[in-house]
Amino acid sequence: MSPLGRGMPALVSSPALMAALLAFTYTTGKLDWTRVVGSGGMPSSHTSLVVGLATAVGLKESLDSSLFALCLVFSLVVMYDATGVRLHAGRQAEVLNEMIMNLPANHPVADARPLRDSLGHTPVQVGVGAVVGLLVGYLHYSSWVTQWGDN
């Protein structure tokens, strides 16, 4: 039986999933679904989400488990993408937006909608997101085990 009762779906009673969602929520102050598909900002909520998940899985399954290895690699890919690909794509969007603003008014692209330039994160934003995820994942999982046991 789920520690939260028979009527509670198994996903909601997953300490790893709840640690991930709490880490994500901690970065925004609320569960803001636009941040799930959005990007940019301090700290990186996506990093907090995946590191919170990896932390809870590592504590539950052990650091030498295949499941933890999967979560860790997934976290590293998300963090690399945030500081690499998306950060540089955002910087390119800034340059393109500036170029478009300087076009003559009669140019076919002059009235184009600006590109989103807040796509990625600086390494500091990702680092802070990772610390938030680590702490929230650890604290939530530890309190879960204290209250419900390690099932």
Provide the pLDDT for residue 7: 46
75-124: per-residue pLDDT in tens?
999 888 888 776 777 777 778 778 877 777 777 776 777 766 666 677 88
Q: What is the mean pLDDT of residues 30-37?
A: 58
Greater model confidence, 71 or 94 = 71
Q: How far apart are CA 88 and CA 84, in angstroms?
A: 6
- Helical (H) or strand (E) element with 129: helix 123-148
The closest of 86, 66, 89 to 78, measured between CA atoms, is: 86
Q: What is the mean pLDDT of residues 25-35?
A: 62
Q: How far apart are CA 84 and CA 47, in angstroms?
A: 13
Greater model confidence, 26 or 63 = 63
Please tell me the least confidently modeled range out of 10-19, 23-32, 71-80: 23-32
Residue 1, pLDDT > 70, answer no
Residue 14, pLDDT > 50, answer yes
